[in-house]
Structure 1
Amino acid sequence: MGGRLINSAPRLLPLAALMTMLALAACGSTDGPGTATGDRDETRDMFVTGLNDIDAVYIDRINLGDVTVEGLKRLDAFDPAIGLRRNSTEVELDIDGQESVRFDAPSAYDATDWGELAARYVETAKLHSAKLALTPPEKIYEAVFDGMVSKLDGFSRYSSAADADENRASRDGFGGIGVKVAVADSRVRIISVMNYTPAQRAGLQTDDIILAIDGQDVAGLDQHQVVDKLRGPVDSRVELKLLKADTTVPTTILLSRAHVVPETVVYHPEGNVAYFHIYGFNSDTSESLEREISHAKSEIGAANITGYVLDLRSNPGGLLDEAVAVSDVFMQKGRIVSTHGRHPDSHQYFEATAGDLADGRPIVVLVNGNSASASEIVAAALQDSGRAVVIGSNSYGKGTVQTVLRLPNSGELTLTWARFHAPSGYTLNKLGVLPSICTNGHSPSELMTELEHNELRAIPVAERNALKPTDTAEMDKLRKTCPQVKSEPATDVEMALDLIHKPLLYTRAVALGESPSPADAAEAAAVTQAP
């Protein structure tokens, strides 16, 4: 399942025709050292495409002149003699204080003209700087785009072609055998073997040593080179020479690569409670969770399971669609999340569909200060719907959605394009999820006693839901009621299990985070979406 990142989406903009037109256009600069025509064309494509993307989808309209100039200033990292000055009508390229080249400044929001200016500026600077002329184009793109996105929010970023390829592998999977390796002292050691992969089926184990790949000795290869050799097209074959952890004689095996998606869900039983730790949200997370729930029902017995623990602590997020799908695993109906931004396509509403794989059993969700983004969507949806008790500390508060746009060099520009809202209407951005039971500074026994005597304070739902997205001062006040904890104390799991085994107290705990009526939620959503 594809989707948008909350911390990817296919290109949303109809830029194919624009990019073709740009590729056909000529550049006015004269050829010089390091300025091949292909480089000039790609440089122009890169900056025009990137700035048009920022102009079209970034969550706030922003001065593109400021963005471009901040990017071009970063060229001095390659040659300190390159300087930039700007006034209301011109951008000036200064060369070691001795000569300068002036460019007419476009209007503040003309993305194409600013992109063309950036390309001309870079190519002109190359003509006057031997150091810049010898700098690989990718290094220049990285410096300039890093400067550009520094004028945006902290979650927008540029990824080089190599980094983007790795990002796509992490999100969507890759052709491989399903192992993680560590390279040290000229040895390649397997540090983990993923379930349901060619490596597991072939009997590979942790601490096995890979001596050669396809007949090539791995001594001298770095981590990236080893990983690159292990990966390849799905159904292609790879030969490994191995020293198994329990033997002294090397063996050679032949494996067929398969589509591998990094594991994000780990299950184990806690007595009659099914415990799941979700480490991130990639394209396989919801299917993995469903598979592990089926495993739990087989191992414990569907009729014997007393409840479920969903551990989202230190989960940094991932794909929006997968957060929705994971929430839908446990919900029968109702809103899961909505997103709102500047781009028309950013206004989206996600609803649960019938079918609860947990069969109505109690659910406890664990969060901490590092639970962010997609994990906050799941926690808020299950809490607001009354389907789960959330315990732990205040979550991170990363309530924005990013869209990933591919650039002409096969790199990626990740841009924040929407904020997401919980079912009851409040924005999670800079606020996060307030746990139904705050375990920060309290022992499970103390909390259970207070819950038994109805002494635990309920979440101030009305106050929270009435907050505007810009009211960070009031958000900070609410967050201080349960300060973030970045660790994962075992006592949180202890509290969750205790709660599941005491149905009356579990019901009371659910009520602590009870959401308002649908009418009140709609009113709150209208308030929080107002500028």
Structure 2
Amino acid sequence: MLGFSENLAADRLAGDTPAAAADAVAALLTEAERQSPALRRAGRQAMLQAGFEEVFNHLDPYSRYMTPDEARQGRDRRLGTNDLGLTLANASRRQVAIGAVTPGSAADRAGLRPGDIVVEADGIALSAEQLDEAHSILEGPPGSSVLLSIRRGRRRLEVLLTRSAAPTLSVSARVRDGILWLNLPHFSAATPEQLDRALRETTSADAPLGVVLDLRGNRGGLLQQAIRVADTFIPAGTMVTTEGRHPDSRRRFTAAGPDLAAGRPLIVLVDGRTASAAEVVAAAIGDLGRGVVVGSATMGKGLIQVLVPLPNGGELALSWSRILAPRGWPLQMLGVLPALCTSRGAEETARNLATLGTPDSPMAIPLARARAARAPVPTSEVAALRSACPPAEGRDADYAVARAVLDSPELYQAALAR
């Protein structure tokens, strides 16, 4: 048990400003470290982390303290640096699989494929139960390397990858069967420019049937990146609003145009791993009737964090506002519901496709209820709406469903939000 001096007690009680509170906490940590050998052995960093975690446990799921290393890795990820060119996904039996590989990246050059199981990274076993930690293990300084232990079927591979010191492609584009397929496995600072280039280089004559924007497995990025991506397709209208307690947290983002896809039919593929900024893009395109969302319910991460730098190089991520879709419903917990659900198996997907855009569609009522929802949405209502199309990982059948919708202009038009 720690005892505190009268001076410390006075410091602790003096003032109610943020600076005074910070001074009181610093004094408390200093005194605790002086009196406790165990705390001295743990170190100031561990004490800070434990203290912040206890505070944030009583707030929302996303407010947290980041150590200096975690803060640096987060900055690198937002800038698109230190990239291996792969994303991770959940696999069966709590395994971690490669979800997507960026063309031309280190992972692509090493021959890695989606579906490969990543057993270890630098000797550290990876688990799908801690997917964010698995992503963190793969991050590091530009030019450094990581040794991956890969299982492909019955084969075991050891692959050494060197982290890129410059942004790799976060947008891959290909034209097939009259459709422009755009894959965005992650967001970076370079994503909007790369997307613009892909659309400008592919004319309507090259891809007359339309565009498929694949956001499955995309964990998101900065709100500004999402707004620029959505603005690429949306010619006009409010794409997203944010609201919070502070007046500065209330903002409205309006499309400036032009639509670089030139009005071509647009399908957005999503799955249960689609999160944050990627959900903003899907919600804007779906709500404004610019395209049809296909897949499963998304993750439901709809809070914006502000990053507060700390003197030790760490950062505080503090939830600042909630994100609202164009029609006013909150993304937090609810996520984006697709107009065409593919997560209930082939038979139910066929039924969804046959009734798409009609009152008989299994998604018609859940979509109407979701768009009418207002924050805070009761937990029971969230569960009921998401159960209409349970979150699941994307599957190859999603491509065939997207193609089927684009093959039928009447079906596509009927499915657009009105």
Counterparts of residues 119-130 of structure 1 (less than 5 Å) = 119-130=26-37
Distance 1:318 1:482, change over 3 A: same
> What's the secondary structure of 2:21's corresponding residue?
helix
Q: Corresponding residue for 2:110?
A: 206
Structure 2 spans left out of the alignment, 5+ residues: 87-99, 113-121, 125-135, 145-162
Instruction: String of CA shifts for 1:466-498, please: whole Å, max 9, x gaps.
Output: 43312323233222222222x111111110011
Shift of 1:382: 0.6
Q: Corresponding residue for 1:497?
A: 403
Q: Is the 8 A contact 1:155 1:416 kept in 2?
A: yes
Q: Corresponding residue for 1:145?
A: 52
Which residue, 307, 325, 334 being the options, matches 2:228?
Answer: 325
Q: Is the 8 A contact 1:436 1:459 kept in 2?
A: no
Q: Is it true that 1:474 corresponds to 2:369 in the alignment?
A: no
Taking the aligned partners of 1:452 and 1:159, their CA distance within structure 2 comes to 45
Q: Corresponding residue for 2:143?
A: 230
Q: Corresponding residue for 2:22?
A: 115
Distance 1:461 1:491, change over 3 A: closer
Q: Is the 8 A contact 1:467 1:475 kept in 2?
A: no
Q: Corresponding residue for 2:273?
A: 370
Q: Is the 8 A contact 2:328 2:374 kept in 1?
A: no
Q: Is it true that 1:274 corresponds to 2:180 in the alignment?
A: yes
| 4+ aligned runs moved over 4 Å, structure 1 | 99-102, 107-110, 178-181, 192-197, 220-227, 459-462
Q: Corresponding residue for 1:456?
A: 361
Counterparts of residues 191-340 of structure 1 (less than 5 Å) = 205-206=109-110, 228=141, 230=143, 260-297=166-203, 302-340=205-243
Structure 1 spans left out of the alignment, 5+ residues: 1-93, 182-191, 209-219, 232-256, 515-531
Q: Percent identity?
A: 32
Taking the aligned partners of 1:373 and 1:263, their CA distance within structure 2 comes to 20
Q: Is the 8 A contact 1:467 1:474 kept in 2?
A: no
> What's the secondary structure of 1:309's corresponding residue?
strand
Shift of 1:112: 2.9
TM-score normalized with structure 2 length: 0.76
Taking the aligned partners of 1:109 and 1:471, their CA distance within structure 2 comes to 34
> What's the secondary structure of 1:372's corresponding residue?
coil
Q: Is the 8 A contact 1:164 1:411 kept in 2?
A: yes
Letter in 1 for 2:399: V
Instruction: String of CA shifts for 1:1-28, please: whole Å, max 9, x gaps.
Output: xxxxxxxxxxxxxxxxxxxxxxxxxxxx
Please tell me the root mean square deviation across aligned C-alpha atoms, in Å. Answer: 3.4
Shift of 1:122: 1.3
Q: Is the 8 A contact 1:367 1:392 kept in 2?
A: yes
Distance 1:504 1:194, change over 3 A: closer
Distance 1:367 1:146, change over 3 A: same
Q: Is it true that 1:425 corresponds to 2:328 in the alignment?
A: yes
Distance 1:302 1:106, change over 3 A: farther
Q: Is the 8 A contact 1:193 1:205 kept in 2?
A: no
Q: Is it true that 1:342 corresponds to 2:248 in the alignment?
A: no
Q: Is it true that 1:171 corresponds to 2:78 in the alignment?
A: yes
Q: Is the 8 A contact 1:337 1:422 kept in 2?
A: yes
Distance 1:226 1:349, change over 3 A: closer
Taking the aligned partners of 2:101 and 2:232, their CA distance within structure 1 comes to 27
TM-score normalized with structure 1 length: 0.61
Q: Is the 8 A contact 2:104 2:169 kept in 1?
A: no
Taking the aligned partners of 2:246 and 2:166, their CA distance within structure 1 comes to 34
